[in-house]
Structure 1
């Protein structure tokens, strides 16, 4: 059995061979090798198409403003001239074009090979650009929505036992049901995991925060607290419940909520109901990629209610000014942002 496993791994084409196959630069031996690999497992056809989309996105991102992504991706389709697989190319064609059109404009994409037990894993990382939101399909058909600046990493081809992804920031998942292969989201350097079979939920876990928030819309999820690689606690959520996990203390609080308030961001809406101003500012800072500097501490005692759909930050700040007597000044970025993402600063003061 050990020899058989080594034989399978050694004959599986790596990403270099697959990219040569897509670009029609592969040798005859390599083409035959990829053809055999595709015939062995139908799921591999989706892997090949995703790799084609990612590679094409990376190569054309700088020129996207002057090119039509539909026409561009049609070239990839023509290069994969395999008449016996015309069905799956046509079926996935439009989805892949959407992948290109949406992701190139709203995200940064990276792709690399990670060595691990049992061979190499191709990892894709998608980051929503600052101040923008995006959504895309994962290899199993699960839909992932990313909030501004959020990062999601996933393998191009899942492990057979689980579908594991890693999140930093905020994301909404519509998970494809598969009882044989649980979907797992790892956050906070794998100190917490959300494990599901098929469901819809929102997950928030930002890099420099100790709070992880999970809001379940439908189905069920298991929240696993992890310490030194071992699961130390397991909590199951029901629909319309929100769990707030404090990583530093290990405490978890669960409350029944209107899930729309936690998930409306993916549709460009922000909803607040009697929310403390510090929480309002936190949501605004992530949504618009800004930093708030509160000069009068009394502002932090205020509460706020309002719903905004596809509004500019200045429009929301104007509403705050009228309703809560909070004056503001937006300090524009003046430094070079080549060293990383820069944030505008909004200075808040109580109106005199």
Structure 2
């Protein structure tokens, strides 16, 4: 069962801990007790005091373990706690500290604390994106030098020192005939940052493709996306911007705005999330207008009523943008959902054996960790994994978690 503090002892222990005066046993009690505050009796006078103390304790725990300072505790995120296993993982590329939680009888308890590192498949350390030019030539961007790569008509293509790609229209030059390039960002590649000739900026996630004109000579601006991308569109009232997703028979129309599109073909739903401005999302015979903080969800993969669009208000933008910000944020995600993300990020093949677990997981994990450190979250909940080269086999779930070795 989770530790229980009497009111007087709790405040005394917390004060000692935050001042660095607690003994080893008292330190361990505070750290184990920290993440079960939501289930405790009323130790604090009000909610604001509780939240303030929780955040101080969280940061002190990280400081004690020499972890990076910029970590956001779950108490500051709108992640729903669920009746399954959940985890906070704060760590660097060479190690991680796990606090694994599981609810039993309505109470959440710590079931494992592990400092664990295991050599295996590392996270991508660069972008491996390729530009396929209109004439079929291919440019491997990680091998291209800094500066101008080539010129297509009146547009020059540059690679900056940080790896960003920029299309720049020569001053005073006409746009010329339309040429369409394709940016391919494969599995196992970091997101790529692209500035289009009109000044719009796009971040393309791994296992994603963007087709776009080198310049925009017509009355509108159109690109095609498969996979996931985040867009910041340059305002031009006379020329609307369209993002077409052919695999989903869908289109997003904007003038100048910030939004994210997740249109991976192996996901259950296509999602369009608006951060700023306004967009119109259309799918087959239906459409909707989105306001900032809203998300449009459309079913895919041949499901019933496939052209239906649901709109969700007050979406957690940090969760949506986790891929761009170097995090995995799992919010009630099942094993298959998590493995699809890992498959794209680490460039692995995933196969399943036997009956799979119905557990769901909630938490925050850095994308710079080795894959085994992410899998260890689910292993402790009784899910077995085998890694052979770049193939991961998800075995039949146990009723209880395996012990860490």
What's the offset of the Cα at 1:298? 4.1
Superposed counterparts of 1:179-190, under 5 Å: 179-189=237-247
CA contact (8 A) 1:154 1:164 kept: yes
- Measure, in 2, the Cα distance between the counterparts of 1:276 and 1:208: 15
Structure 1 residue ranges, 4+ long, deviating more than 6 angstroms after superposition: 74-77
What's the CA shift string for 1:163-209, capped at 9, x where partnerless? 10001111111111222111110003471101111111111112456
Corresponding position: 1:325 with 2:382: yes
Decide whether aligned partners of structure 1 residues 279 and 152 sit closer, same or farther in structure 2, where only a CA change above 3 A counts.
same
Q: Which has the larger radius of gyration?
A: 2
Partner of 1:287: 345
What's the CA shift string for 1:296-343, capped at 9, x where partnerless? 4341x1110121122222210122212x2222112325xxxxxxxxxx
Partner of 1:348: 395
- Measure, in 2, the Cα distance between the counterparts of 1:275 and 1:122: 41
- Measure, in 2, the Cα distance between the counterparts of 1:224 and 1:97: 34
* 2:293 aligned residue (240, 246, 259): 240
- Measure, in 1, the Cα distance between the counterparts of 2:286 and 2:214: 30
What's the offset of the Cα at 1:246? 2.1
What's the offset of the Cα at 1:149? 1.6
What's the offset of the Cα at 1:269? 1.0
Corresponding position: 1:305 with 2:362: yes
Q: SS in structure 1 opposite 2:336? A: helix
What's the offset of the Cα at 1:215? 1.3
CA contact (8 A) 1:166 1:185 kept: yes
- Measure, in 1, the Cα distance between the counterparts of 2:291 and 2:348: 34
* 1:144 aligned residue (202, 212, 217): 202
- Measure, in 2, the Cα distance between the counterparts of 1:209 and 1:217: 22
CA contact (8 A) 2:355 2:397 kept: no
TM (norm. structure 2) is 0.54
Decide whether aligned partners of structure 1 residues 265 and 75 sit closer, same or farther in structure 2, where only a CA change above 3 A counts.
closer
What's the CA shift string for 1:136-182, capped at 9, x where partnerless? 11111111111112000001111432110001111111111222111
CA contact (8 A) 1:169 1:206 kept: yes
CA RMSD of aligned residues (A): 3.4
What's the offset of the Cα at 1:120? 5.0
Corresponding position: 1:251 with 2:298: no
What's the offset of the Cα at 1:240? 1.6
Partner of 1:199: 257
Q: SS in structure 1 opposite 2:324? A: helix
CA contact (8 A) 1:194 1:224 kept: yes
- Measure, in 1, the Cα distance between the counterparts of 2:362 and 2:268: 26
Unaligned 5+ segments in structure 1 are 1-53, 78-88, 105-118, 227-231, 334-343
Partner of 2:159: 97
Q: Which has the higher contact order (CA 8 A, sep 6+)?
A: 2
- Measure, in 2, the Cα distance between the counterparts of 1:59 and 1:277: 36
- Measure, in 1, the Cα distance between the counterparts of 2:150 and 2:296: 44
Superposed counterparts of 1:39-188, under 5 Å: 61=140, 64=143, 69-70=145-146, 73=147, 96-98=158-160, 101-102=163-164, 121-132=178-189, 133-188=191-246
Unaligned 5+ segments in structure 2 are 1-132, 167-175
Corresponding position: 1:220 with 2:267: no
What's the CA shift string for 1:6-46, capped at 9, x where partnerless? xxxxxxxxxxxxxxxxxxxxxxxxxxxxxxxxxxxxxxxxx
- Measure, in 1, the Cα distance between the counterparts of 2:397 and 2:333: 18
- Measure, in 2, the Cα distance between the counterparts of 1:288 and 1:177: 36
Q: SS in structure 2 opposite 1:297? A: coil
Q: SS in structure 2 opposite 1:345? A: strand
What's the offset of the Cα at 1:61? 4.0
CA contact (8 A) 2:286 2:309 kept: no
- Measure, in 2, the Cα distance between the counterparts of 1:124 and 1:252: 31
CA contact (8 A) 2:225 2:245 kept: yes
